[in-house]
């Protein structure tokens, strides 16, 4: 089995639904779906395993066992080249913006994704993919703090750690929207979620 990623230019952040529609159209060979961009050629020239089926987009195809290794490199290079990156396996799109307030913040998922500086829409969408095949999502600012969540039978476990003070807190929230709101606040530097929920120190 193989793993694919596609990159192209978008002038504004897009939804995962728009990304899927564009990807399918490009794979069918339709033209004029998105504008050609010099970043596409730059990306294809700098990443092993990338090809440029048209001036509008580049496609990365690698063996499944190399997917995590190559995906991290592809996400970073796409951003450097001014391109969005679509992952058709996970049905997720990596936009250029908006980003959180912590440069270098990483997102880790239970299905192997490790991504620096994820855009906020991606964080929101990734949280909705948590399942037995993807049992957790975390945002980490190494050496300072992190927030993570895992699905439970009746909702979600939500954890926050202040690494500077070595304090860990845990709570249970009933729905995905509460998790998405907490992660968005964390990524933008707010801590309202700490006041909104009842936490236990662990």
CATH code at position 44 = 3.30.70
Judged by DSSP in three states, 171 sits in strand
Helices 38-46 and 67-80: crossing angle in degrees, nearest 10, is 140
Q: Are residues 172 and 89 in the same domain?
A: no
Looking at 31, 65, 95, the residue that finishes a domain is: 95
pLDDT at 69: 82
Residues 6+ apart with CB under 8 A from 166: none
Q: What is each CA distance from 105 to 65, 69, 114, 188, in whole angstroms?
A: 25, 18, 10, 11
**pLDDT number for residue 84:** 98
Among 95, 114, 135, where does a domain finish?
95
Coil/strand/helix, residue 68: helix
Does 179 lie in the same domain as 124? yes
| Cα R_g (the chain), whole angstroms | 18
CA 192 vs. chain centroid, Å, equals 23
Instruction: Tell me which residue of 202, 176, 181 sits closest to 192, measured CA to CA.
Output: 181
Tell me, yes or no, whether 80 and 143 share the same domain.
Answer: no
Print pLDDT tens along the chain (202 aa): 788 999 999 999 999 999 999 999 999 999 899 999 999 999 999 998 899 999 999 999 988 788 888 888 999 999 999 999 999 999 999 999 999 999 999 999 999 899 999 999 999 999 999 999 999 999 999 999 999 999 999 999 999 999 999 999 999 999 999 999 999 999 999 999 999 999 999 9
pLDDT recorded at residue 66: 82
Count of domains forming the chain = 2
If asked whether residues 122 and 187 sit together in one domain, one would say yes
Q: Are residues 72 and 151 in the same domain?
A: no
Whether 15 and 89 share a structural domain? yes
Q: Domain residues for 55?
A: 1-95
Give 84-100 as a DSSP string. EEEETTTTEEE-S--B-
Are 146 and 175 contained in the same domain?
Answer: yes
pLDDT attached to residue 2: 86
34 contacts: CB under 8 Å, gap ≥ 6: 8, 9, 10, 22, 26, 56, 57
- The verdict on 66 and 135 lying in the same domain is no
């Amino acid at each position: 089995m193989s793993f694919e990623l596609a990159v192209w230019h978008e002038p504004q952040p897009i939804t995962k639904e728009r990304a899927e529609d564009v990807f399918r159209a490009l794979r069918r060979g339709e033209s004029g779906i998105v504008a050609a961009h010099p970043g596409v050629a730059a990306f294809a020239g700098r990443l092993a395993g990338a090809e440029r089926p048209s001036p509008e987009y580049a496609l990365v195809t690698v063996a499944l066992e190399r997917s995590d290794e190559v995906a991290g490199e592809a996400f970073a290079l796409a951003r450097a080249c001014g391109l969005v990156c679509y992952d058709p396996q996970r049905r997720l799109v990596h936009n250029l913006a908006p980003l959180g307030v912590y440069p270098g913040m990483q997102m880790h998922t239970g299905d192997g994704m490790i991504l620096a500086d994820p855009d906020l829409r991606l964080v929101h969408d990734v949280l909705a993919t948590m399942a037995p095949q993807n049992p957790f999502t975390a945002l980490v600012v190494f050496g300072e703090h992190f927030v993570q969540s895992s699905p439970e039978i009746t909702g979600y476990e939500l954890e926050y750690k202040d690494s500077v003070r070595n304090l860990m807190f845990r709570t249970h929230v009933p729905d995905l929207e509460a998790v998405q709101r907490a992660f968005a606040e964390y990524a933008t530097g707010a801590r309202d979620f700490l006041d909104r929920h009842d936490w236990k120190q662990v």
